[in-house]
Amino acid sequence: MSDTFDPDHLRAELLPLSTLQAPSEEAQAYQRFYGLNALGPNGATSSRIGRVEVGGYDIVTQLWVPDQPVGTLVLMHGFYDHVGLYRHVIDWALGLGLAVIACDLPGHG
């Protein structure tokens, strides 16, 4: 499988985050490209990628959950950023036992 992906195709195929679905090949390529596929201690983390509708926008959202979460970190990036730049923060939070939910704001990611 290639680590290249088409962001427009990926966004178009995403189901709501609440839908339990296996990530598509495109989503897996995206996660591998940014190193978001094997986070947390020993890779023992479940993850999901989907969309959440907010104010008329479909927001690409990702969720990582350790085996026994002790809390949740909501990650909101700044202007010109995207979730792919925050792998180190996500990994740090998962190492502390925190679930992490992160989204790319409209026009980002």
pLDDT at position 42 is 58
Determine which of 15-29, 35-49, 52-66 has the lowest per-residue pLDDT on average.
Answer: 35-49
Determine which of 44-48, 79-83, 93-97, 105-109 has the lowest per-residue pLDDT on average.
Answer: 105-109
pLDDT at position 44 is 56
| Percent with pLDDT over 90 in the chain | 21
Q: For residue 52, what are the β-bridge partners?
A: 59
pLDDT at position 41 is 62
Residue 108 predicted with pLDDT over 70: no
In this prediction, residues 45-73 reach a mean pLDDT of 89
In this prediction, residues 35-55 reach a mean pLDDT of 78
| Full-model pTM | 0.83
